[in-house]
Amino acid sequence: MDHVTMETIQQNIGMPIKEASRRLGGFGSEMVLNNDMLSNNISLENPSVAFTGDARYMAPLWVSGKADELSQSDTSQSATTSCFELRDGDMDPHNQTVIGKIKAALKLLTFRKDHVLVQFWRPHDLRKHQLLTTTDQPYGLGAINEEFYSYRKDSERYAYIVDKDHEEEEDLGPPARVFKQGLAEWTSDVVTNYLPKYFPQLECATHCNLYGYLALPVFDTATRSCIGVLELLTCSKYPSFAYEVQQFEKALKTQDLTCRKISDGPASNVPFVPRENDQLDDIFSIMKVVCDTQNIPLAQTWAMSPLNTFSSHEQILLKTCDSFDTKCLGKVCMSTAALPYYVKDLRLWSFREACRKRHLNKSHSPVGRALLSRGSCFCEDVTKLGEEEYPLVHYARTNGLTSCFLISLHSVETNDDYVLEFFLSSHMKNTKHLVNLVRILKENFETAYRFELGDRSSIEVFGPPMNLGVNKDPETWSYLMDTFSDELDVARNNFVGVLDECSSTSVSTTFKRGSDTMVNVKVAYGEDIKWFCFHISLGLMMLKYEVAKRFGLKDEMIRLKYWDEDNELILICVDDDLEDALVASGSENSMNLICKLSVS
């Protein structure tokens, strides 16, 4: 048995063991470690599950040892200090049940590539404290190689204090943070996206050529308590871990376990199922009535996706949505998963499934426009939108969907905000159909007294970006100014229709067309100047997006200003201010702007 000093422990094992020793009462200047377990004498079970379907072409796991090997091996084989005596608690029947469930779940997993390591971290009670360790816990290898086993051996040297009153969460490793917070953590590349203080095993991961990382909390569905953490490492830089998370969910479910925080309500990837006495039921019921009476093929509900995962990006831990996709990093996302929907035309199920799996950027998508305006908007043809603005454009084309109407909805009881999206039938070619749709929504939602329908006095009509062939900028944006109907095509000016049937107070409904002016925009940000062409009818939001894209900024952080005739800087606040900025520039087709960053 090897005897090593605390200094050696600190150098070769890392801070967690040293810190654990100090906080658990101090075991003196000398601690006992045994390295026998770190030899290459391991036992892995050959994958024995008969996989079917697509799983036949995926990579299964070689799972660690037989069921009793993890609990009945000699105590001296422990990689942690003998002072911790972690093995004593492992003989508890409950703990053995947990080990068995995790092993069974690991055997059901299949992955896109075989270069993966999956290991389980479990808490142990010790002298009124909890220590999280992966020693003697189940693990699996997609491919048996020296690099994976080296990282596995290194992991066995770590133990993290996860007491509730232990405040230094950020300085702990990802498994400890995930266990304490009950939230997943992931990154596409541990080497470039983590600082050593956030990932104590960074040096080992770099040496072992490991990049992709995912850590999921594991909950008991009966007790709702977190029983441990499943950790996945890969040799690939996955831009998305959505598939892997789905695999873990399916496998854990067979053992009455889950990787979703149960107390937060329904999992966001679970299809909506109507329940009694729920406001979502009211939305579903009204949505069904509207679709049936107006012959609308598909309707669905969107809401802001909650921030319930952590991702390490550019060495900073960011709280992000649950898509596990790098495309969502730094963005506020809209999701339709686990929210009411109604598919009247069953041929559109594939489109609904595509929507459920994708997130939309709140800042740029049509859904986001409706939410931000707290009103309603109409898009004549979503298939002509750009993929960046509407990532579902390909699915819409495939399913023959074009026109859609969106309106915001606010819940008085819960203070939640939603957006209702209705894809219109091909027969809905004039304003009376849109008017009837708004009227039925108003009658149903406002009589329920639980919701406030978005502003109906102004329906924003917008179209897709299109290339007008201007040589200076091939990405020039423009509204599609084709007519929605004869009633709406009124010399490209504002069309005002008094729609008394839509409002008991006879509020007029305005279909906004906006100006149809193409201008050359000159924007100065510090000493940097950019030129581009812009269709002014796109409005302020799209102009800020274009400016932000060219200077590499975030559009929600910038402020656009112009010099007026008194040589004063004027802030552009609303779309109508763009006309004033154009006039102040002294030209009919050019605009001079100043870009500033928001102080907040």
Task: Kindly report which listed range (41-55, 68-82, 207-221) carries the lowest average pLDDT score.
Answer: 68-82
Average pLDDT over residues 401-409: 92
Percent of the chain, pLDDT > 90? 33
Instruction: Give the C-alpha separation, 333 to 516, whole Å.
Output: 30
Q: What is the pTM of this model?
A: 0.64
Note the pLDDT of residue 270.
55
| Per-residue confidence band for 52, with pLDDT thresholds at 50, 70 and 90 | confident
To the nearest whole number, what is the mean pLDDT of the chain? Answer: 76
Q: Which of 105, 101, 99, 111 lies closest to 58 in space, CA to CA? A: 111
Note the pLDDT of residue 489.
57
Note the pLDDT of residue 554.
82
pLDDT at residue 88 greater than cutoff 50:
no
How does DSSP assign 519-561, residue by residue?
Answer: EEEEEEETTEEEEEEEEGGGHHHHHHHHHHHHHT--GGGEEEE
Note the pLDDT of residue 273.
61
Note the pLDDT of residue 21.
44
| Contact predicate 521/459, CB 8 Å | no
**C-alpha count within 13 angstroms, C-beta hemisphere, residue 93:** 0
The domains found in the chain, sorted by start residue, are: 41-264 (3.30.450.40), 279-512 (3.30.450.40), 518-597 (3.10.20.90)
Residue labelled with tokens 């100043």: 594
pLDDT digits 0-9 by tens, 29-47? 222 233 443 344 567 887 7
pLDDT digits 0-9 by tens, 485-537? 333 353 224 323 323 333 333 223 333 333 466 788 999 999 899 988 888 87
Q: What phi-psi label fits residue 151: left (phi over 0), alpha (psi between -120 and 50 degrees) or beta?
A: alpha
Note the pLDDT of residue 32.
28
pLDDT at residue 484 greater than cutoff 60:
no
- Radius of gyration over every alpha carbon of the chain, rounded to an integer in angstroms: 29
Instruction: Give the C-alpha separation, 36 to 24, whole Å.
Output: 25
Note the pLDDT of residue 176.
94
pLDDT at residue 416 greater than cutoff 80:
yes
| Per-residue confidence band for 271, with pLDDT thresholds at 50, 70 and 90 | low
